[in-house]
Chain A
């Protein structure tokens, strides 16, 4: 009986300590990040954006909720089923959030990569008329993100996607794009994902890198 009590107490203690390690903020973030990474359905992405919006409202000094809210809107802006107007509307919101995140955390490679992602989504929304004016800006923004953190696998994967699209358009070689895709995969493989997740840092983008690497084969 005594042993049982001790075990119960120990058990309860571990639960208590485990949960006390995670503040309500962290708990909410972890839950929502996991949901966001899994989904590509528009209603779920909007739910996700709203959830991060609620978290951001309560934690105005943190950049991650704003970043993920922006990401959720960017994913929506990439959805082919939306009209151009609707895409522009959500991407304008995403852009606003990416800028807001930058104001909270300066010189952050992840946020700059997100800004580039938003621009790329804008370009994709109407490539014929926006390609010429935006492609340079997109690549420049990704370049900036890579310069800030040469080990940012998302900046690499997104650059690969952009370079790949341009190479296809101009009919030139895809070596450069594929190089970035490989490099991105290598970084993903070397990263300690659980540690990043615990710190609420971005871990998404691996499937994009894999998909790019696959197109290169």
Chain B
């Protein structure tokens, strides 16, 4: 018994003797105390947390050589080797910050992101669809952002003095051909893809990444939803038609199928139209999307595959007046059939590797009947892409990608047995390096190279951007780069050896998000070279060449505020563009009709809890479009009156799963004019007769009822508005 006690005493004593005290202070590289740091001996429970002054102290009974680990959120971990001998040890530790993608600076030059969680976003995905006047059209919502111009008789995206073909559109990183519905001249079109497909978007008005090419002005990357939340059925009944969507989700996979039909005839029979319709536009579409997820992102390997198929058909018959001639004019009948499908994947592997890519196919067929003449136009784009990204360290990552495009186009006059076509194979490689000097300072450099078998041209386009974050959360970024684009297919098919047009962008941006307020200011200069020129009319160009050049420069501002007025979110945009270019059939540098000098918009959304309603209004304005008057000397001498459109909308939620949405565009009934058309020959008095190109109708009224059927009674289709 005695021995037992003695032993116990000995053990206790030795334990006391071998105790080592470790103390010190943790600070950052500026010498400021870092509290909350985890300091511990590896392989033991011994450790502590630094206090408010960065100080720490703990004891251990371990002896010999041990590793001390120092860890804190936002800092790089450190290891110290200590010799524990019972003597107190003092360790003063300086931590280096780690790159935190969440708070680190981002490149905001030229970029406008719509997303859910990131800080640099300008819009939320839902904003795209709840913007009054957008009528669920993604493009129309983007037109309330800085750097864009509304061209009311076209409907596509016009960015900073560029024409609509200068914007390339991608879904899950893969190119979409003919993203806008086919239409006849001066009848505005819409984006073919429903806004509720997407969880976010990245809209660049210039200076974008080397990952994108063949677009002189702008890239719009739309990202589809990952896994939907639940099984549900969505019914929509609208003044223009209706549709049904079924979503099935199980574990890590999901299927969504939808079908819609729209017909403007009933609406047009009630509301008088300025256009001479024989058959109002009608459209059907069907789509299926599939998703499969695997792995757990924390343990390493994880990924997702998405497949999406969309098919649609539309037709319309319209009479277009010929100036100087009596009668209804030309009868234009348009039948369109469009298919798009893509399969994309994303897989993050071990050791900082990320792989993504996929294949996409777009196919567009237009059958046009112009009076007695039939015309067939068929476009096809096949795109495949594979990208590998390696994070060598939290600071440095390198992206490498390969792409292959097959672009085909044919146009035929079947009655006359005439046909012409081309096929172009394009190979692209891009490499992009991202380096964070610190959480405040980032630099991205990239190079995109390409080769076209048809143009027999190889090109290299370098891109560069930097961003620096200031103390007040604001940040400056600068981007510059070269961009190339081959001519539109209707010109290439006539002259297949046309090489690239070029643009060089310089963009300086200031961006700040502060407590529910976002402010963005940007100045840009864009230099165009080798623009396509020709002689004669646009529908029969002669001597097609790359003799054009020009520029666009300007500034734009964006302010968004969700704070000042209770339950109200508004944004104000102003864009100034000074652009002149020699292009198309113009012999001198002119201000293009699609580049109004001053552009602005105001969007307001106000939630009224008592009415269970979201009220919205948007106002879009520009200072007028230039046009050419053949009765005057020179080119593009005149300008239309200012454009202005005030829209109102209300979304009423009587129950959480039912939404009634009513919207009206141009409530003031303003007679907007987008330009003037002139007779091709002068009349007896020697002057060319002219006619204003205006709106299809003064106003457009939309009403829709959206019902969601699911077990979760709160689910709704707010995304559809």
Contact = CB atoms under 8 A, between A and B. Distances in A.
Interface stretch (B46-54, B183-191, B334-342, B394-402): B46-54
A170 B102 contact: no
15 contacts: A5-B1, A24-B45, A28-B45, A43-B49, A50-B36, A50-B38, A51-B47, A54-B40, A90-B73, A99-B296, A102-B296, A102-B298, A130-B117, A137-B229, A169-B609
Contacts of B73: 89-90, 93
Interface string A125-168: 01011101111110110010000000000000000000000100
Contact of B47 (A54, A136, A137): A54
A50 B49 contact: yes
Nearest to A106: B296
Contacts, number: 104
Q: Tell me the dominant secondary structure on chain A's binding face.
A: helix
B348 to A, nearest CB: 13
B36 A43 contact: yes
A13 interface: no
Interface of B: 1, 35-38, 40, 42-45, 47-49, 51-52, 69, 71, 73-74, 100, 102-103, 116-117, 119, 124-126, 229-230, 296-299, 515-516, 562, 569, 609-610, 612, 653, 656, 712, 714-715, 718
The CB with the most chain B CB atoms within 10 A, among A50, A58, A93, is that of A50
A133 B71 contact: no
Given A50-B49, A103-B296, A169-B609, A140 B124 contact: no
A96 interface: yes
Given A24-B45, A58-B43, A89-B74, A43 B35 contact: yes
Q: Tell me the dominant secondary structure on chain B's binding face.
A: loop
Interface string A168-179: 011110000000
A92 B298 contact: no
A-B pairs, 9 with minimum CB distance? A50-B38, A46-B36, A99-B298, A47-B49, A103-B299, A50-B49, A54-B40, A133-B116, A100-B298
B52 A43 contact: yes
Contacts of A139: 712, 714
Contacts of B299: 100, 103
Given A47-B48, A54-B40, 14 more contacts: A24-B45, A53-B38, A54-B47, A58-B43, A84-B515, A85-B102, A88-B103, A90-B73, A128-B569, A133-B116, A133-B125, A135-B714, A140-B229, A171-B610
A166 B715 CA distance: 12
A19 B297 CA distance: 39
A85 B117 CA distance: 11
B298 A96 contact: yes
B36 A170 contact: no
A172 B35 CA distance: 44
Given A43-B52, A103-B298, A133-B126, A85 B103 contact: yes
A58 B44 CA distance: 7
Contacts of A22: none
Contacts of B715: 136
A140 B296 contact: no
A128 B562 contact: yes
A173 to B, nearest CB: 12
Contact of B103 (A89, A99, A129, A170): A89
Nearest to A46: B36
A143 B102 CA distance: 28
B230 A140 contact: yes
B656 A170 contact: yes
Nearest to B45: A28
Contacts of B230: 136, 140
A213 interface: no
Contacts of A84: 515
Contacts of A103: 296, 298-299
Given A89-B102, A100-B299, A103-B296, A140 B47 contact: no
A57 B124 CA distance: 39
Nearest to A47: B49
A55 interface: yes
A133 B71 CA distance: 33
A137 B35 CA distance: 34
A132 B196 CA distance: 14
Given A54-B40, A99-B298, A92 B102 contact: yes
A140 B231 CA distance: 11
Contacts of B100: 89
A84 B610 CA distance: 29
A135 B124 CA distance: 15
